[in-house]
Amino acid sequence: MKVIFVITEATPFLKLGGLGEVGGSLPAALQRLGVDVRVIMPKYKGIPDYFRQKLQLISEFKVPVGWRSQDCGLQAMTHQGIKYYFIDNDYYFSRQSIYDEFDKAEQFAFFSRAVLEALLHIPECKPDIVHCHDWPTALIPLMLKAFYQRDPLYYRLKTVFTIHNMEYQGIFPEEVLYDVLGLDKSYYTEDTLKVEGGINYMKAALIHADQITTVSPTYAREIQTAYFGRGLEGWVQKRSESLKGILNGLDYDLYNPAQDPLLKVPYGDSTQPKLDNKLYLQSLLNLPIRGDVPLLGMVTRLTEQKGIDLLAHILEEIMDLDVQLVILGAGNMYYENRLHCLAEKYPEKLAVRTTYSDELAHKIFAGADLFIMPSRFEPCGMSQMMAMHYGAVPVVRNTGGLSDTVISYDNDAERGNGFSFGNYNAHELLYVIQRAIKLFREDQQAWKRIQDNAMHSDFSWEHSAQEYIKIYRSLVEIA
Ligand code: GLC
């Protein structure tokens, strides 16, 4: 079985969020189970030099973009046994931001077409499956049918499209269809790419991909409703027979408290050293050094998806409690400023860092007693799994992958591995935090059990990789 993974982020080359975690670890998990996986991604400016220096040129060719054609280089390197290909074009990819450029419709149309052209230049690969991820790669199943169907190389090729986030769909003006994609008006109908306001890349994948997956079973159900489907729910429903929710895994090589070089004191089964990590985190962030105070952690993007508006609403009430709260995350300027102001007002209780730091993230997972993640929606969520594996008890909203990973202590005192609340309501969040803190203070035994359950929840990639393999097999068998 040969699979080409097309993705726009992958650790250790470039990671903005959960997508990059998946790009870095799912291919390795598939490979361990015997699949020949190769990854193709753009050669971004942000990829560190020590990787760029190792790249070897495979080929150079032209890629059609509407009526024009653009130069493209295909470069490759092998990293930890996996072959990575990079689509090289300075004009499109030598930029600071990744998804926010004014011409992103063209950037990712180029990338998608370049991937299909690139396959001709790696004949030894001859894939069975192209596995695409999120809107930047969503045109591939369509382009395959529109431009390449007759070529023997592509004839039997099947496509899988994974939705990591329905919020970002790639909606662009109608002209993009003609000027950038080189398609005609027959693609501008309700049954094709047309949506209110123009054309929709993700819709193209929902129509044309052979199989659709998303990153948790609950999110697979949710996106068939208007609130989560964001206008595409009808198209998701139409494909519900070919839709599967497969929970992401956690890369235990990267996230292992027993062997984590970023921790002050690594720890295995005994959680005692967590206290040392907590005291260290407090000193690092200039908070009073106190073992007894419940330390709440949050590692997040500061966007409304992540429920930052809920937290902001009750922050002063949290500050009335005897707690400490550490927030790491960048994003929306309004919330960044608001948090900085509050951190000045409550220097003994609140520490805020509005940057992106893997190192501090690990230290927070290790030092926090509770991990707060009140997402409005959450396709899978990775940081709750990381936090849990480090023994920080999660407090989450019951949605998407959070529902599929956290068992609330309130519903199941034996198996509970965290706390959850249902409605998107700031005071529900406050009450569940208060309940959790009360238990932390008053029932050490119950607390320890929740913490152990969290640390031992099985989020290994193997199970998910097997699910993907079942899908790949079924597609290849049909062919
Ligand atoms: C997106 C989703 C997140 C998910 C990640 C990886 O970032 O918002 O919930 O964990 O993709 O699939």
373 lines ligand 1 (CB under 6 A): no
Contacts of 233 (CB under 8 A, 6+ apart): 223, 224, 225, 226
- Residue 29 phi, psi (nearest 5): -65, -40
Which DSSP state fits 331? B
Q: Whose CA is nearest to atom 12 of ligand 1?
A: 164
Q: What is the pLDDT of residue 28?
A: 97
What mean pLDDT value characterizes the chain?
Answer: 96
Q: What strands lie across the sheet with 243-245, from one edge to the other? A: 56-65, 68-79, 82-88, 36-42, 2-6, 129-133, 158-163, 211-214, 243-245
Q: How confident is the model at residue 124 (pLDDT cuts 50, 70, 90)?
A: confident
Q: Whose CA is nearest to atom 11 of ligand 1?
A: 164
The rounded distance, in Å, linking the Cα atoms of 274 and 290 is 13
Q: Is 17 in the pocket of ligand 1 (CB under 6 A)?
A: yes
pLDDT higher than threshold 80 for residue 385: yes
The pLDDT assigned to 479 comes to: 62
* Sign of the torsion angle spanned by Cα atoms 192, 219, 379, 465: negative
Q: Is the CB of 66 under 6 A from ligand 1?
A: no
Counting from 1 in the atom list of ligand 1, the atom nearest the Cα of 379 is 9
pLDDT at position 155 is 87
Share of the chain above pLDDT 70, in %: 99
For the ranges 54-58, 159-163, 316-320, 355-359, the lowest mean pLDDT is seen at 355-359
The answer on pLDDT for 252 being more than 90 is yes
Question: What angle, 0 to 180 degrees and rounded to 10, lies between the N-to-C axes of helices 426-442 and 308-319?
Answer: 50
First to last CA, the chain: 13
| pLDDT tens-digit series, residues 167-184 | 999 999 999 999 999 999
* Residue 268: predicted pLDDT: 80
215 Cα nearest atom in ligand 1? 12
Note the pTM of the prediction, 2 decimals: 0.96
Atom of ligand 1 nearest to the CA of 162: 12
User: What is the best residue among 16, 25, 165 to mutate for testing ligand 1's pocket, by most ligand atoms within 8 Å of CB?
Assistant: 165
Q: How confident is the model at residue 95 (pLDDT cuts 50, 70, 90)?
A: confident
Instruction: Inform me whether the pLDDT recorded for 270 exceeds 80.
Output: no
pLDDT tens across 51-94, in order? 999 999 999 999 999 999 999 999 999 999 999 999 999 999 99
Question: Percent of the chain having pLDDT more than 90?
Answer: 93
How does DSSP classify residue 260? -
Give the whole-angstrom CA distance, residue 132 versus residue 163. Answer: 9
pLDDT at 271 over 70: no
pLDDT at 456: 95
Concatenating the DSSP letter of every residue in 30-47 gives HHHTT-EEEEEEE--TTS
**Rounded average pLDDT over 216-244:** 98
Instruction: List CB contacts of 234: < 8 A, sequence separation 6 or more.
Output: none
Under 8 Å between Cβ of 141 and 204:
yes
State how far the Cα of 395 lies from the Cα of 393, in Å rounded to an integer: 7
The answer on pLDDT for 149 being more than 90 is no
Query: For residue range 453-462, what is the model confidence (pLDDT) as tens digits?
Result: 999 999 999 9
How much distance in Å is there from the Cα of 177 to the middle of ligand 1?
28
> Per residue in 186-223, pLDDT tens?
999 999 999 998 999 999 999 999 999 999 999 999 99
Ligand 1: distance of its center to the CA of 21 in Å?
A: 9
Nearest ligand 1 atom to the CA of 400 is 9
152 Cα–ligand 1 center, Å: 35
Query: In order of start, what are the domains of the chain with their CATH numbers?
Result: 2-249+462-478 (3.40.50.2000), 271-458 (3.40.50.2000)
Q: Is residue 216 within 8 Å of residue 247, measured between CB atoms?
A: yes
pLDDT over 70 at 384, yes or no:
yes
Structure tokens at 65: 């973009």
Say how many Å lie between the CA of residue 1 and the centre of ligand 1. Answer: 26
Dihedral angle computed from the Cα positions of residues 227, 229, 235 and 237, in that order, rounded to the nearest 10 degrees: -70
